[in-house]
Amino acid sequence: MSQKPGKKYEAAAKQVEHKAYQLADAVTLVQKIKFTKFDETVEVHMRLGVDPKHADQMVRGTVVLPNGLGKSKRVLVIASGDKLREAQESGADFVGGEEVVTRIQTENWTDYDAVIATPDMMRSVGRLGKVLGPRGLMPNPKTGTVTTDVRNAIQEIKAGKVEFRVDKTGVIHAPVGKVSFANDKLLENTNSLIQAVIKAKPSAAKGKYVKSATLCSTMGPGVQLDVAAFNAKTV
């Protein structure tokens, strides 16, 4: 049995017209109809015309949001030798080698937001798939989290690097900032994320690429976006 929306949510939803909004108008509206006391995250949800069951239609990538996410991510680096010191000097929150792998395996430890691993540690890190995989924390060369350039990887994540990946239903969910952000900064972040998804269009994807897109805050109603402009850039 679904819970009935509260009065504040319903009041916010009434301010959203049943139409497709231009991106700038949608960002302004999401900020205007906020009704909670905490600083909500703003999220983009994009339904894509791809079938992720086929490897050549998988959509994934990363983008460093120009204005960050409004919170500093806790970064774990799994490395060895000199790279351990490099990670500590570069601002990693947690640093370690085999002992960290063992801790994650035995304690299900996931008190961090991102994991970076050096290539020489991937044989050990590969055993952590069951713990890290479902949480989207598994290091991957394609997203820059398996690398020897530990310093740069940490800096990008701390600066607001967002990883996006289409789920099994063909939808991408990604954060773009906080409701409290200045309007132009939130708009710039949102546009950067959308453009990154458009750029990641697989060549095997046929027909309309962006089927629909919604912008919303954590607790607020969704605002439908006009995707015509997005698709014009993917032809």
Is a pLDDT exceeding 80 seen at residue 1?
A: no
Which neighbouring-strand residues pair with 213?
46
DSSP, residue by residue, the chain? -PPPPPHHHHHHHTTS-SSPBPHHHHHHHHHHT--SSS-PEEEEEEEES--TTSGGG--EEEEE-TT--SSPPPEEEE--THHHHHHHHTT-SEEESHHHHHHHHHH----SSEEEE-GGGHHHHGGGHHHHGGGT----GGGT-B-S-HHHHHHHHHHTEEEEE--TTSEEEEEEEETTS-HHHHHHHHHHHHHHHHHT--TT--S-SEEEEEEEESSSPPEEB--HHHHHT--
Query: What integer pLDDT is reported at residue 234 of this predicted model?
Result: 58
User: In the chain, how many domains are there?
Assistant: 2
Would you say residue 43 lies in a domain?
yes
| C-alpha dihedral sign at 122, 125, 130, 135 | negative
Is a pLDDT exceeding 70 seen at residue 99?
A: yes
Whether residue 35 is found in the same domain as residue 136: no
* Percentage of the chain exceeding pLDDT 90: 77
Is a pLDDT exceeding 50 seen at residue 210?
A: yes
Q: Which of 159, 177, 194 delimits the end of a domain?
A: 159
Whether residue 155 is found in the same domain as residue 98: yes
CATH number of the domain bearing residue 62 = 3.30.190.20
- Distance from first CA to last CA of the chain, Å, rounded? 43
Query: What integer pLDDT is reported at residue 226 of this predicted model?
Result: 94
Tokens of 41: 């995250």
Tell the residue number behind the tokens 């006391």, with chain if given: 37
Whether residue 171 is found in the same domain as residue 207: yes
Q: Which of 159, 188, 209 delimits the end of a domain?
A: 159
Whether residue 122 is found in the same domain as residue 171: no
Residues 57-92 pLDDT 10s: 999 898 999 998 887 889 999 999 999 999 999 999
Q: Which of 66-70, 213-217, 223-227 is least confident?
A: 66-70
Would you say residue 171 lies in a domain?
yes
C-alpha neighbours within 13 Å on the C-beta side of residue 205: 23
Residues 23-69 pLDDT 10s: 999 999 999 999 999 999 999 999 999 998 999 999 989 899 999 88
Whether residue 147 is found in the same domain as residue 168: no
Whether residue 128 is found in the same domain as residue 60: no
Whether residue 141 is found in the same domain as residue 208: no
Buried b (16+ CB within 10 A) or exposed e, 33-61: bbeeeeebbbbbebbbbbebeeeebbbbb
The residue type found at 186 is L
Q: How far is CA 14 from the centre of its chain?
A: 28
Whether residue 95 is found in the same domain as residue 49: no
Would you say residue 11 lies in a domain?
no
Supply the range of the domain harboring residue 44. Answer: 17-68+161-232
* Percentage of the chain exceeding pLDDT 70: 97
